Chains A and B, each alone.
Chain A
Amino acid sequence: MTYDIVLAGVGGQGVLSMAALIARAAMAEGLHVKQSEVHGMAQRGGAVQAHLRLSDGVIESDLIPRGAANLILSLEPVEALRYLAWLSPAGTLVTSANAFVNIPDYPAQEEVLRHVRALPHAIVVEAERIAEESGDLLAVNTVMVGAASHLLPLASASLEGAIRTTFNRKSEATQAANRVAFAAGRRAAS
C-alpha cells in the first residue's frame, strides 16, 4: 500500500504543520513516511506545496509522480487547483472554501469553487467557520485533517493521538479547540 498526498496552500498558512500531523499519525501506525517540503524564498506568501508519501513498503522518490496522488489536501481553493496534474483520476481533492487573496488578479471566489466542485471527487470544507466555532481560528489545519480523515489509510484514533502529541504543551483551551476542530472537520466531510 502506498498513499500519496499533495498538501497545498499559501506560505504561512501552515501546510507543513498539516503534513506533520498526518506523518506523525502514520508513523505511529508503523508506516514508512517521506515528507518533501519547500523552504526559503518560496515560503514568503507564495504558493507552497508539500508531498507526503505513506507506505507499508519502501518509498523511493521523495516527490510524488504526476497522476499518482491519492489526495490533494489544500488550505486554499486556488492552490488546490494548482496541482491537479499530480492527482490520480481516482483521487480526491479536499480543500478549504476560504480564499486567501494576496494577489491582484485573484479570480471570483464562486468561479474557483465552481471549478473545484466540477471535479469528479472533490470535498469543500468551510474550514475557517468550523475552526472559529471550535474555539480557535488557528485550528484550520486540524479541521482540514479531520475532513481528510475518512480518506486517509489511518485510524481516526491515530490522527487524534497525533493531535494530542502535537498540542500537548499548548494551553488547555488550544488542546480542546483542536480536538473539537478535528471532529467537526471529520463530520463536515462525511
Chain B
Amino acid sequence: MPQRILLGDEAVALGAVHAGLTAAYAYPGTPSTEILEFLLDLEERHGGPHAAWCANEKTAYEAALGVCFAGRRALVAMKHVGLNVAADPFMNSALVATHGGLVVAVADDPGMHSSQNEQDTRWYADFARVPCLEPATQQEAYDMAREAFDLSERFGVPVVLRLVTRLSHSRTSVEVGEAREQNVVRKAPQPSTWVLLPGNARRQWQALVDRQAEITATMAASRWNALTLNAGRRELGVITTGISRNYLRENLPDLGWEPSHLHIGAYPIPADKVRALAAHCERVLVLEDGYPYVERLMRGLLPPGVAIAGRMSGEVPSTGELSPEIVRTALGIPVRAGVALEGFVLPNRPPQLCQGCPHGHAYTSLKEALLGYGATMVTADIGCYTLGALPPYSAIESCVCMGASIGMARGAAEAGFSPVAAVIGDGTFMHSGIPSLVDAAAANANMTLLILDNQATAMTGVQDPLVTSSRLREIVLGCGVDPAHLHVVDAHPRKVHENAAVLKRELDHPGLSVVIAVRECKVAAKKRARTTTAVTS
C-alpha cells in the first residue's frame, strides 16, 4: 500500500477523494481549513474533484446537499462553531433521505487555540440523530472518511466526522488505498422525501427515529469500538474516545500494566460494551478530548453501579484539551520533571497584527475619531482584526460570533447608547454581516459600521475573497445604506487623520453610516506576488 505524509485534515480530504468524492465545499476556520486547501490544490493539479470556498458554512452545507440530491458524494467541512451556522441545513438534512453520500467533517478546538468556545460536535450528531465517527489517528481519519460515505448511503443520512485540533494539525504517514469511482448523476428517486412539508416531515422524522435501532447496532458493532478486558485485574477500566487513546497508550509503559479498555470511535456509543466494561471493573476512568459526552451518558440521573472518574468528578480538568500529562495524572502516575527556569519570568508573546497591517492604521483612525466623547462603544467581529482588542490598540470591545458586530451595534444604539461603532472584515461581512446590515439600514440605526476590506480571509491562511472591493460597495448600497453616508477610504498610514475625520463626522450623524477602509492584507500581497512570479518563471 502506498504511504502519504498527511495532516489529519489532509487525510480526511484524501479519504473522501478515494471514496469517490464529486464535490467539496467549506468556509475556512481553524483547525478545519486544510481539508479544503488540500482539495483545492488537488483540483488545480488534477482537474477534480470539485472544491470551492463558500460565503459561509450554511451555504457550503446546502451546496453539498445538492450534490447528494443529484446522487453523488459530497463533503462539507467546517470548524465546530461553523456547524452552528450550518445547523439549520444540518438538522434538517437528517430527515431527508440523502441519496449520494454526505459527510460533514467538523474540526473541534478543545483548549480554544483559535476559537471562542470548545463546543463538542458529538452532541450535534446526537441531536440530529446521525452517526458520528471520531478518528484517533491520521490513518483512521483517512479510513473513516472513506467509510463515512458508505454509512451515509446505507442509512440515507449525513455522517459526521469529528476531528480535534491535535489530530487535524499533526502530520504523519498514512497508508492509502485504491480510489473508488464517483457515483453517476442520478437524481434522488423520491422527491417527496426531500420536501419537508409537515406531512412529509412527520413521516421522515418517524422513519429516522425508527432507523435508530439499526444505526445504533451497526455503529456499536463497528471495528472502531474495541473492548479489551484484563481478566486478572478489576480495579480500573479506561474508556477513551478519539485521540485520548494515544495519550493512554503513551503512558501505559509507565503504568506498568494494561487496564481493561474500551475505545470508542463510532457513535451512537456502544452501550453493551460500556456495560460490559463497567461490570468487569470497580472504577472506570473516562478520557475525552472535549466535553464529558460519554461520561454524562454513563452517569445519567440515578447513581451509577460503578465508580466513574472523569471531567465531571474532577480526576480530569473540567475544561480544556487533554494532554499526555493530564492523562498521566488521571492514571495516578507522577508527571516527569522537565528542566526548571529559576528566578526568571518570561514575557508573554501573544499573537499580534503584522508590522504595517492596514487594520492597525484603521484602528488608529477609529481611536482618534472616538476621542472627545464620554463613553463610546465598539463592537467587533472575528478575524485578524480581533487582535485589535489587545494592546497597543485596545480598540474593540466585543467578539462573539461571525457577524455579531453589526446586530449588536444596532441593538446598543436602539438601547440609547451613543456613539456606537461596529468593526467587521470583508470576509466576515460576506459570511454573515449582510443580513444584519439590512436590519440596521431598515431601522436607520444610529451607528457607524467600519468594514475593514483587506481583500483576504487572512487569519485562516489568506484565502481569496469571493467578491472584489468594487462589488463590496455595491452590496452595501444594495442593503439600503444611504449613499451620502457611505464612504470608501484608503487605510494608508498617511491617511490616518483624514480617515479619522470621516469617521468622526459619521459618528456624529444621527443614523446609519458605513465606512469601508480598503487596503490589501500584506501577507496576501506577498502571496500574490509569489504566485505571479511562479507563473511567469
Q: Which residues of A contact B (CB under 8 A)?
A: 10-12, 23, 27, 32-47, 59-69, 78-79, 81-82, 84-89, 91, 93, 102-107, 111, 115, 119-120
Known interface pairs A38-B113, A65-B324. Does A84 touch B169 (Cβ–Cβ under 8 Å)? no
Q: Is the CB of A46 within 8 A of B350?
A: yes
- Name the distance in Å between A65's Cβ and chain B's nearest Cβ: 4
Q: Is the CB of B351 within 8 A of A43?
A: yes
Indicate which residue in A33, A45, A107, A111 contacts B172 across the interface (CB closer than 8 Å): A33
B325-353, CB < 8 A from A: 325, 328, 335-341, 344, 346-353
Q: Which residue of A lies closest to B534 (CB)?
A: A169
Known interface pairs A61-B250, A62-B167, A84-B338. Does A44 touch B172 (Cβ–Cβ under 8 Å)? no
Q: Is the CB of A37 within 8 A of B353?
A: no
Residues of chain A with a CB closer than 8 A to B347's CB: 78, 103, 105-107
Q: Which residues of B contact A (CB under 8 A)?
A: 5, 7, 30-31, 33-34, 113-114, 166-167, 169-173, 243, 246-247, 249-251, 323-325, 328, 335-341, 344, 346-355, 384, 387, 391, 459-461
Q: Is the CB of A39 within 8 A of B349?
A: no
Q: Is the CB of A41 within 8 A of B113?
A: yes
Q: How far apart sit A27 and B5, CA to CA, in the bound complex (Å)?
A: 10
Residues of chain A with a CB closer than 8 A to B249's CB: 60-61
A sample of 10 inter-chain contacts (CB < 8 A) reads A36-B169, A38-B113, A39-B31, A39-B461, A41-B30, A41-B114, A41-B351, A64-B324, A89-B338, A107-B347
Q: How far apart sit A87 and B340, CA to CA, in the bound complex (Å)?
A: 9
Residues of chain A with a CB closer than 8 A to B7's CB: 37
Q: Is the CB of B339 within 8 A of A91?
A: yes
Known interface pairs A65-B324, A87-B338. Does A42 touch B344 (Cβ–Cβ under 8 Å)? no
- Name the distance in Å between B5's Cβ and chain A's nearest Cβ: 7
Q: How far apart sit A104 and B392, CA to CA, in the bound complex (Å)?
A: 10
Residues of chain A with a CB closer than 8 A to B30's CB: 39-41
Residues of chain B with a CB closer than 8 A to A115's CB: 341, 344
Q: Is the CB of B325 within 8 A of A45?
A: no
Residues of chain B with a CB closer than 8 A to A86's CB: 338
Residues of chain A with a CB closer than 8 A to B325's CB: 65-66
Indicate which residue in A44, A47, A89, A104 contacts B353 across the interface (CB closer than 8 Å): A44
Q: Is the CB of B250 within 8 A of A60?
A: yes
Q: How far apart sit A62 and B247, CA to CA, in the bound complex (Å)?
A: 9
Q: Is the CB of A44 within 8 A of B354?
A: yes
- Name the distance in Å between A189's Cβ and chain B's nearest Cβ: 19
Q: Which residue of A lies closest to B328 (CB)?
A: A65
- Name the distance in Å between B456's Cβ and chain A's nearest Cβ: 13
Most A CB contacts (10 A, CB to CB) among B340, B351, B461 go to B351
Q: Is the CB of B339 within 8 A of A35?
A: no
Q: Is the CB of A61 within 8 A of B246?
A: yes
- Name the distance in Å between A33's Cβ and chain B's nearest Cβ: 6
Indicate which residue in B324, B335, B346 contacts A63 across the interface (CB closer than 8 Å): B324
Q: How far apart sit A103 and B354, CA to CA, in the bound complex (Å)?
A: 12
| Extra A-B contacts (14), CB below 8 Å, given A45-B353, A102-B352 | A33-B171, A35-B171, A36-B171, A37-B7, A39-B30, A39-B461, A40-B33, A44-B354, A46-B351, A61-B324, A63-B323, A67-B338, A81-B344, A82-B346
- Name the distance in Å between A86's Cβ and chain B's nearest Cβ: 6
Most B CB contacts (10 A, CB to CB) among A34, A41, A46 go to A41
Q: Is the CB of B169 within 8 A of A42?
A: no
Residues of chain A with a CB closer than 8 A to B350's CB: 46
Residues of chain B with a CB closer than 8 A to A105's CB: 347
Known interface pairs A66-B335, A66-B336. Does A59 touch B31 (Cβ–Cβ under 8 Å)? no
Q: Is the CB of B352 within 8 A of A27?
A: no
Residues of chain B with a CB closer than 8 A to A65's CB: 250-251, 324-325, 328, 336
Q: Is the CB of A44 within 8 A of B166?
A: no
Known interface pairs A45-B352, A47-B349, A67-B335. Does A40 touch B460 (Cβ–Cβ under 8 Å)? yes
Residues of chain B with a CB closer than 8 A to A61's CB: 246-247, 249-250, 324
Residues of chain A with a CB closer than 8 A to B460's CB: 40
Q: Which residue of A lies closest to B392 (CB)?
A: A104
Q: Is the CB of A78 within 8 A of B346?
A: yes
Q: How far apart sit A103 and B460, CA to CA, in the bound complex (Å)?
A: 23
Residues of chain B with a CB closer than 8 A to A35's CB: 170-172
Known interface pairs A27-B5, A61-B324. Does A42 touch B172 (Cβ–Cβ under 8 Å)? no
Residues of chain B with a CB closer than 8 A to A39's CB: 30-31, 33-34, 114, 169, 461
Most A CB contacts (10 A, CB to CB) among B249, B324, B339, B387 go to B339
Q: Which residue of A lies closest to B322 (CB)?
A: A63
Q: Which residue of B lies closest to A35 (CB)?
A: B171
Q: How far apart sit A22 and B169, CA to CA, in the bound complex (Å)?
A: 17
Q: Is the CB of A37 within 8 A of B352?
A: no
- Name the distance in Å between A31's Cβ and chain B's nearest Cβ: 10
Residues of chain B with a CB closer than 8 A to A38's CB: 113, 169
Q: How far apart sit A139 and B276, CA to CA, in the bound complex (Å)?
A: 58
Q: Is the CB of B5 within 8 A of A36?
A: no
Shortest beta-carbon contacts, A-B, top 9: A67-B336, A40-B30, A46-B351, A40-B114, A65-B324, A62-B170, A85-B338, A44-B351, A61-B250
Q: Which residue of B lies closest to A34 (CB)?
A: B172
Q: Which residue of B lies closest to A52 (CB)?
A: B171
Q: Which residue of B lies closest to A46 (CB)?
A: B351
Known interface pairs A27-B173, A102-B352, A107-B347. Does A84 touch B5 (Cβ–Cβ under 8 Å)? no
Q: Which residue of A lies closest to B335 (CB)?
A: A66
Q: Is the CB of B173 within 8 A of A46?
A: no
Indicate which residue in A59, A81, A120 contacts B341 across the interface (CB closer than 8 Å): A81
Residues of chain A with a CB closer than 8 A to B5's CB: 23, 27, 33
Residues of chain A with a CB closer than 8 A to B348's CB: 47, 103
